[in-house]
Chain A
Amino acid sequence: MAHHDDDTHPGIDRRHALECMLWAGTGVLWTLSAGVPVSRLIGSAEAAESGFSFLQISDSHVGFDKAANPDARATLVAAIDKVNAMPVKPAFMIHTGDITHLSKPREFDDAAQAIGQARLDVHYVPGEHDIIDEDNGKAYLERYGKGTKGAGWYSFDQAGVHFIGLVNVVDLKAGGMGNLGDAQLAWLADDLRGKSASTPIVVFAHIPLWTVAEEWGWGTQDSARALALLARFGSVTVLNGHIHQLMQKVEGHVTFHTARSTAFPQPAPGTAPSPGPKVVPAGELRKLLGVTDVVYRAGQEKLAITDTALAG
């Protein structure tokens, strides 16, 4: 498995970016080596060389049964099977939201059952699909809100790395995008206070914390305020979902990455009239599965992507 980080293999060229966007279906394995996050899509047989690894899955949309994927539960199960086939067990998993499609108890139950097969601790943040029960998010908080603040935000530490789960799908404003809100930003400032600038930070939230496509609401209205609080840290990795395709961006010390969905792909901005589920021909969905390495190295702003299909 080659990690292309030299000048002859620029990190995100158009062709690779498009290949990434065509891919749908499993999770992203994150490895921290010497405080530097490295990700590869699961399915890669490589074990973590040092440090620890964790896994990101996103947008499982359990309950979705439309043309783009008639059985989103089955593809989540397939993704978890990939996790279980990994040679080295990740330390834990994060789920960056849209666990369910419609916040129904049965959907939460099915998702929990499928994800539970990985036998890993899972740290969740909600997507907008997880808070559309009658009580606007009570169902999510009853299941996943223990030890969290507000609408479900929290932080924890793992082997010297500080993880922050943010909620940007609540109290959205007309015409706007994702929203963190004053209360959560005040908590974040407090959470980071006193932390050494050399502490590696991993932030995860559902909607991207950078503006991918404003016309589709793919961004977070007040993310600049969160990023200002993170500016003094030397290594910040921001992991999101929501857009059902891979995108990466590096800005200063901050690396932004969005994960694929385990349920269905969505179109790239500018390629469709709306961000609705992208229907691919029957049998194509899993042919589009593949492995992708994303490598970050300290002091280098370029990220390297190597993308390989699993089948077809």
Chain B
Amino acid sequence: MTIDNIRGVRRRDVMMCLALGFAVVVAAPAKADTVIVKIDNFTFAPAVLTVKSGTTVKFENHDDIPHSVVDAAGKFRSKALDTDDSFSLTVAVAGEINYFCGLHPHMKGKIVVTP
């Protein structure tokens, strides 16, 4: 590995940290973590996500088609997310959240919230 490569990696890491820091500031000013759920090819990834209570989950749509994030229990519903739009949700209560895409309901995912 060349020095340039190492620099490249470091720069990317720095950028990622900055991006993460920005997301935390916007979504949850308290010292919460942000975890990403990617929407790609009409799937939520990871389909099952386990996080601690207080974590912010950010859904990012990378498809050419809009999607949404709807709680199966009816507690939240995002607006339609166009390409590269995102929706953030801070999970407070331990338990399971089952969600799906309101436009394409065969797309499902689950967040397991631990105390």
Contact = CB atoms under 8 A, between A and B. Distances in A.
Contacts of A157: none
Interface residues of B, number: 23
B102 A172 contact: yes
A197 interface: no
A174 B42 contact: no
A260 interface: no
Interface in A92-109: 101-103
B66 A129 contact: yes
B105 to A, nearest CB: 4
B11 to A, nearest CB: 29
Main secondary structure of the interface of B (DSSP, over half): loop
Given A67-B64, A134-B79, A175-B100, A276 B106 contact: no
B64 A66 contact: yes
Interface residues of A, number: 25
A214 B105 CA distance: 11
Interface string A166-194: 00000011111100000000000000000
A213 to B, nearest CB: 9
A229 B66 CA distance: 34
Contacts of B82: 102
Contacts, number: 58
Chain A interface mostly helix, strand, loop or mixed?
A: loop
A234 interface: no
Contact of B100 (A68, A132, A174): A174
Contacts of B106: 175-177, 214-217
A277 B68 CA distance: 17
Given A66-B64, A174-B98, A174-B108, A274 B83 contact: no
A175 B105 contact: yes
B49 interface: no
Contacts of A101: 66
B79 A176 contact: no
Contacts of B105: 172-177, 217
Contacts of A160: none
Nearest to B81: A132
A276 B42 contact: yes
A67 B68 CA distance: 21
B13 to A, nearest CB: 30
A102 B108 contact: no
Contacts of A217: 104-106
Interface in B72-115: 72, 79-80, 82-83, 98-100, 102-106, 108
Most chain A beta carbons < 10 A, residue from B65, B104, B108: B65
Interface in A120-150: 128-129, 132, 134
A267 to B, nearest CB: 11
B43 interface: yes
Nearest to B82: A102
B67 to A, nearest CB: 10
B50 interface: no
Interface of B: 41-43, 63-66, 68, 70, 72, 79-80, 82-83, 98-100, 102-106, 108
21 contacts: A66-B64, A67-B64, A68-B64, A101-B66, A102-B66, A102-B82, A103-B80, A129-B66, A132-B79, A132-B80, A174-B70, A174-B72, A175-B105, A175-B108, A176-B106, A215-B106, A274-B42, A275-B42, A276-B42, A276-B63, A276-B65
